[in-house]
Every structure is written in structure tokens, then in C-alpha cells.
Amino acid sequence: MREEHAIPLSGLTTMRVGGPADRLVTAETTDELVDAVREVDDADEPLLVISGGSNLVIADEGFRGTVVRVATSGVAVDSADACGGVFVRVAAGESWDGFVTRAVEEGWSGIEALSGIPGCVGSTPVQNVGAYGQEVAQTIASVRVWDRQEQQVRTIAALDCHFTYRHSVFKATDRYVVLEVLFQLRPTELSQPVAYADVATQLGIAQGERAPLADAREAVLAQRRRRGMVLDEADHDTWSCGSFFTNPILSLERFEALEERAAAHLGADGPTPPRFADADGNVKTSAAWLIDKAGFGKGYGMPGPAALSTKHTLAITNRGGASAADIATLAREIRDGVADTFGVTLVNEPVFVGHQL
């Protein structure tokens, strides 16, 4: 276990903002991770747990307490058979895209549409990470955690994780620290049915058909690169938290009110808000559409230091030298502008540490 002091946290996040931590502890084994968290809790000190840092906007003042960085590793097959699938146990600190790459190479299907997503495996159940028609909730069998309240290791079955759109029991509280995730994947060289139209078109197949795993992964990566959603040191469009706002889920009445506001703003013959059916009878619409039609187009805020991506309106980016305050100011302007125009308040996807949106 490595301990450092006054280390800037900007280098540990994909948004590249954040002041220093009083103390930074790097845990490379599960035992070290548990010991580090327990030590901080026993001392009743502030704690921040970081893994890939792809979903954090840390204040410029930094963090007055201990930051525990999860650097654990390990990918192990628990069992594999044609009927039950392949059960793979993955340490929280493993690179998520590294694990997806391994799955594609091994012929484990179920997470190929989640290629190119930054961050570590332990963060994926917290956010119920999803893209291009897949969510990790579809393949997670259980999550092993350190329960800070009960001071013990627990295994939480998928059903008890209460996964919903970009949410879980882990996001609702800081009680749990994810130690490892057990995935149930399918032993096949073919992808799961391709749910996203642009990916299917690129693959030359119909939506709902399957493709070789490697081809499906490359098609997803191509889509993400087109939107600036694959990390690239030289591309400031990727200096971000990815999608900054979640897609709003509205009641039918609220969606109809949105349609009326859109018609008033864009004209009766103008574009209409996208609508996607929700299992609970609600309607999901597009945050990117709302942002764009409210007047915040690609590249809004350029030359920066904080601006919308030039490739995708849903990503707030650091153009170089941005502060956390700059990111928050732009996010607030966009959120409030969408609310004023369409009556819908967008919810930020990344977690703010030491400040609020």
C-alpha cells in the first residue's frame, strides 16, 4: 500500500480537474483496499474512493481527507458451461475496456457493446454503465463489497443491486465499496443482438441480428470515436466525463408538455423531441437533443477553457487549463438554459466532489 500527500487529483480523472488530496493511498490488493477504508472510517475522517476517475468532477480546492485509489487486479473464471454460461470474477481496479477486450478474445459475449468506455470494473455497477443497447446489469451476477456500516465483506446478488437507468443501490449511498464483480457471460463467438441502428448499419446487418464479437467491438469503437468518447491524449474532445447529463425520463403528461414547448420554440413544423418507450409507461427523451435545440451546439464555449465537445453536445470538455469551477459554470449554464427553454431539468451523470452543480 502506497501513501502520498498533497497530490493533485486532476491527474487521476478523465476531466483533468481537481485540487490536491491531503492523503492519497493506493491499494493494490483487496485486503489493502479493505484495510485502507476501515482505517479511515475508524479514525472518522473524510473518505473518497477513486478508481478510473472517469465520472468525477473534483473541486479545485481538492479533498480534505483521505483518497483511496483502487488499483486491484485479477480476472478469474469461476465456472463455464454451455447452459449456465461463463462466470468471470473481476477485481474492481481492472480496466473496464481491458476486460471487454479479454471477453471478446475469449469468446465471452454480453459486454461487447460497452467497448471503449473508460474507467474501472468496480465503477460499472455503481452507475449501471450502459451504451449502444447494453447495460452491465444484463450480465452482472453479483457484486462483492465492503460494507462500511456493518464492517464486513458482503456479496450482493444482482436482484438486490436494484439496477435502473444509470443507477443502483451503490450510487444511492456511500455505504459500499466495490471489491469485485461476478459477470455471467455467454460462450459464443457472436455478439448479442445488435440493438443500436448506427452500429447495425456499420456492420451491414439488420438491427437485432448478431455479428462476430471482434467486428461488433470495432463497430462500437468507431461510433464512440466519431463522438469523441474514446480517450485520446491528443484530442481535447475526449478530456471529459463522457455523457455529462442523463437522458430525461418523463411521465406522458410531462412529455406532452415538452412537445408543446418544443413546438412553441422551434415552430409547429419544426423538429420534435425524440421519444422512447419506458417499461413503466414513461417516456425517455434525448438530453443531447434538448441541449442542441436550446442553443448549445457542438463546440459551444470554444475556445474554452471549458466547452462542449466539437463532436457531441452531451460531453462537456476540458480544452486545456480548465478548472473545476469552469466545468461547473458551463454545466450550470446548459442545465438552466434547457430548463428555461423546454421546462426539463437535466441531471448530471458525473459525481461532484467538494462542490455542487
**Is the domain covering 2-70 a CATH 2.30.110.10 domain?**
no
pLDDT tens digits, one per residue of 204-238: 999 999 999 999 999 999 999 999 999 999 999 99
Q: Using the CB atoms, write b or e for 106-120: b if 16+ within 10 Å.
A: bbbbbbbbbbbbbbb
Strand-pair partners of 87: 79, 184
The DSSP secondary structure of 118-165, one letter per residue, reads -SBGGGHHHHT-EETTEEGGGTEEEEEEEETTTTEEEEEEGGGG--BT
Confidence (pLDDT) at 53: 95
pLDDT tens for 28-75 read: 999 999 999 999 999 999 999 999 999 999 999 999 999 999 999 999
Q: What is the pLDDT of residue 350?
A: 94
User: In the prediction, which pLDDT does 234 show?
Assistant: 94
The one-letter code for the residue type at 241 is C
Mention the CATH class of domain 236-353.
Answer: alpha beta
pLDDT digits (tens, 9 = 90+) for 126-175: 999 999 999 999 999 999 999 999 999 999 999 999 999 999 999 989 99
What residue spans in the chain does CATH classification 3.90.78.10 cover? 236-353
* CB-based contacts of 295, cutoff 8 Å, min separation 6: 337, 341
Give the pLDDT confidence score for residue 279 in this predicted structure: 77
The catalytic site residues sit at 166, 243, 349
Q: Please state, for a pLDDT cut of 90, what percent of the chain lies above it.
A: 95
Q: Checking DSSP bridges between strand 63-70 and strand 20-27, what pairing results, if any?
A: parallel
Please tell me the pTM assigned to this model.
0.92
Res. 81 pLDDT band, cuts 50 70 90: confident
The ranges of the chain annotated as CATH 3.30.43.10 are: 2-70
Average pLDDT of the chain to the nearest whole number: 96
pLDDT of residue 1: 86
- Assign a CATH topology to domain 75-226: 3.30.465
Beta-bridged to residue 58, according to DSSP, are 353
- Location of C-alpha cell 476486460: 99
pLDDT confidence tier of residue 114, bands split at 50, 70 and 90:
very high
> Per residue in 314-347, pLDDT tens?
999 999 999 999 999 999 999 999 999 999 999 9
State pLDDT tens for residues 290-319.
999 999 999 999 998 999 999 999 999 999
| DSSP string for residues in 28-85 | -SHHHHHHHHHHHHHTT--EEEESS-TTEEE-TT-EEEEEEEE----EEEEEEETTTE
Residue 218 burial class via C-beta count within 10 angstroms: exposed 0-12, middle 13-18, buried 19 and up: middle
What the block records as the C-alpha cell of 353 is 466532489
